[in-house]
Chains A and B, each alone.
Chain A
């Protein structure tokens, strides 16, 4: 059973603004019957004030898709187009007191329907349809993925699937998503100054990177040879670790182990890292 908030259940049981507006000035349709959720949003616009006078929706989908659509219409009614467009999928989720991670794509659906409706009103092409298709099963483009990654600070392919459905079908595009994610993350980590990753890291980010590097790259490599490593502490440039496993008692192999760890951490995180060993207590 999903853990839905009371607000989600409220909007699901008593959806607001169901139907089609009296005069359709803009219309956005996203999703499809075969994808498992689809939303049609229509808006009526006060042309002088550039203001959304009325908004109505029709949704095929799960409880959170219906609740997200209902919430969206409440959020945009009476707003100017500019104000409405500044709403992110996270805002929709927040309005409902949060959504389960696996259901975040419902909030993205809402945001995209809104964009499509406004674009339709303005006679433009909706942004989400720009770019290249990455996931063919669910028709998700690189532009969509990049935006969702940035607004929601996503860091894994799994999260991208939860937010956009991309990669959740046949799974063939998972590698493409991973490559795209790495590209996006690199861009966000080094804002255009071409520095090594970690050049201007905050302490928190730096620790996170060190943790990641040890857990995902260094430890698995050591484990293959029967060893292991544990992160003990980080103090400025100094990283304290405990080396374990079959080689731990042998001083000469420890030397090479420490060299290996230093080399990897310098490459992955920061070039001025110093590795010190702490004995297990």
Chain B
């Protein structure tokens, strides 16, 4: 069976050029870059090149990059550094739609006595900027916001917020794990203090990430140890992966125009085709959004069931339904946006990439209507070609279910 991979926000395939560049570092080029001999020297040179490649993609200086083990480590490092370098400030601001790497840290910090403001979003997933502005206080140590939402692709105005924070002397961090490689980024021209990224979202392998830390920003390491990364992250460098991330960054830079033209066109065509299915709707703003992501709800059916049928037909996607997350409630992102539960349970995220083709979109547009029809046929809320009338619906009151009230 042919695989149609529409789950590039979950992870991407390692690019063959990336793999090829990495392989020598598992064998011949095994030196420790800190060593004072030629085996170390040749690896140190390769790392310098890789760091330059990533710096070029971000528009920053190589010395402003700290390698980490993943996006989650970058997020943790940024949050804790901001708090530990400003021990007198006990307030931080984030949003209600962050990745769990930030959300769960915020919850933990709250238990430690910090005050946390979680700024809301509107029905389109756009940030409530005035709420954020009002929340800034002299006690605010950090503002941390997603650049691009992993579930909906919706973009936050992080450069505007960074400017605002900079004026008030507040540290600003952005989780740009989903943004890097998909939208142009030029950190030199921005007031962003810290930025997280993860290699596996841009065709490097899993297990390598990076944190940009603006030159001159006070920093406290998360991993305390050796002098690596200028003493900002102890631990012998993951040399093959750093080299791989360098090549991936170069490729991402080269492919950025394609991502915003060809990939975007594929996404738009797919989305338009899927919206022809009755009772389907897009979650998230249609233009202030990544070029590769669409989040669509198919009402009256449930996401996990959709995913299994899609997978059976070769299509890989994700869902914000309760059943897929292992929790009992649908995605916190869709709930924060006020997407009704009825639609949130049937939400599907499709995230495309440069490996996808027109053929695949055609194929998907054939498969989707069949899957949706099959499940609606089973659904007690669906009859013939529309939802059953409200009076016949199994209402919440019947079962005392008050979740939507």
Stretch in A32-40, A82-90, A271-279 with 4+ CB within 8 Å of B: A32-40
Q: Judging by beta carbons under 8 Å apart, are A63 and B398 in contact?
A: no
What's the dominant secondary structure at chain B's contact region?
loop
Which residues of chain A (4-40) have a CB below 8 Å from chain B?
9, 12-13, 15, 18, 29-40
Q: Judging by beta carbons under 8 Å apart, are A32 and B328 in contact?
A: no
Residues of B near A146 (CB, < 8 A) are none
Q: How far is the CB of A111 from chain B (nearest CB, A)?
A: 15
Q: How far is the CB of A100 from chain B (nearest CB, A)?
A: 9
Which residues of chain A (67-124) have a CB below 8 Å from chain B?
102-103
- Out of B323, B402, B404, name the residue touching A62 (CB < 8 Å): B323
Q: Judging by beta carbons under 8 Å apart, are A66 and B305 in contact?
A: yes
List the B residue with the shortest CB-CB distance to A133.
B400
The interface on chain A, measured as residues whose beta carbon lies within 8 A of the other chain's beta carbons, has a size of: 38
Q: In this assembly, does B227 line the interface, its C-beta being within 8 Å of a C-beta of chain A?
A: no
Q: In this assembly, does B327 line the interface, its C-beta being within 8 Å of a C-beta of chain A?
A: yes
Cα–Cα, bound, A136→B302 (Å): 22
Q: Judging by beta carbons under 8 Å apart, are A137 and B345 in contact?
A: no
Given the known inter-chain contacts A15-B378, A58-B380, A161-B328, please indicate yes or no for A32 contacting B308, CB distance below 8 A: no
Q: How far is the CB of B305 from chain A (nearest CB, A)?
A: 6
Q: In this assembly, does A61 line the interface, its C-beta being within 8 Å of a C-beta of chain B?
A: yes
- Out of B321, B327, B380, B396, name the residue touching A34 (CB < 8 Å): B396
Q: Judging by beta carbons under 8 Å apart, are A29 and B401 in contact?
A: no
Q: Judging by beta carbons under 8 Å apart, are B308 and A33 in contact?
A: no
Q: In this assembly, does B147 line the interface, its C-beta being within 8 Å of a C-beta of chain A?
A: no
Q: Judging by beta carbons under 8 Å apart, are A33 and B341 in contact?
A: yes
Given the known inter-chain contacts A60-B301, A62-B321, A139-B400, please indicate yes or no for A39 contacting B329, CB distance below 8 A: no
Q: In this assembly, does A59 line the interface, its C-beta being within 8 Å of a C-beta of chain B?
A: yes
Cα–Cα, bound, A61→B304 (Å): 8
Size range of the interface on B? 35 or more
Cα–Cα, bound, A40→B378 (Å): 10
Q: How far is the CB of B64 from chain A (nearest CB, A)?
A: 38
Cα–Cα, bound, A31→B401 (Å): 8
List the A residue with the shortest CB-CB distance to B404.
A34
Q: Judging by beta carbons under 8 Å apart, are B378 and A102 in contact?
A: no
What's the dominant secondary structure at chain A's contact region?
mixed
Residues of A near B402 (CB, < 8 A) are 136-137, 139
Q: Judging by beta carbons under 8 Å apart, are B403 and A137 in contact?
A: yes
Q: Judging by beta carbons under 8 Å apart, are A168 and B327 in contact?
A: yes
Which residues of chain B (291-314) have a CB below 8 Å from chain A?
300-305, 308, 312
Q: In this assembly, does B394 line the interface, its C-beta being within 8 Å of a C-beta of chain A?
A: yes
Interface string of B318-358 (1 = CB under 8 A from A): 00011110111110000000001110010000000000000
- Out of A18, A29, A59, A62, name the residue touching B304 (CB < 8 Å): A62
Residues of B near A37 (CB, < 8 A) are 302, 323
Q: How far is the CB of B372 from chain A (nearest CB, A)?
A: 13
Cα–Cα, bound, A129→B381 (Å): 22
User: What 10 A-B pairs are tightest by C-beta distance, nearest first?
Assistant: A168-B328, A139-B400, A62-B323, A62-B304, A58-B380, A40-B380, A34-B341, A139-B401, A34-B404, A36-B322
10 A-B residue pairs with Cβ-Cβ distance under 8 Å, sorted by A, are A32-B399, A33-B300, A36-B302, A39-B380, A40-B380, A65-B302, A65-B323, A136-B400, A137-B401, A165-B328
Given contacts A60-B300, A138-B328, 11 further A-B contacts (CB under 8 A): A31-B399, A33-B300, A37-B323, A38-B381, A58-B378, A60-B301, A60-B378, A62-B324, A63-B308, A102-B326, A138-B403
A interface residues with partner B (beta carbon < 8 Å): 9, 12-13, 15, 18, 29-40, 58-63, 65-66, 102-103, 129, 133, 136-139, 141, 161, 165, 168-169
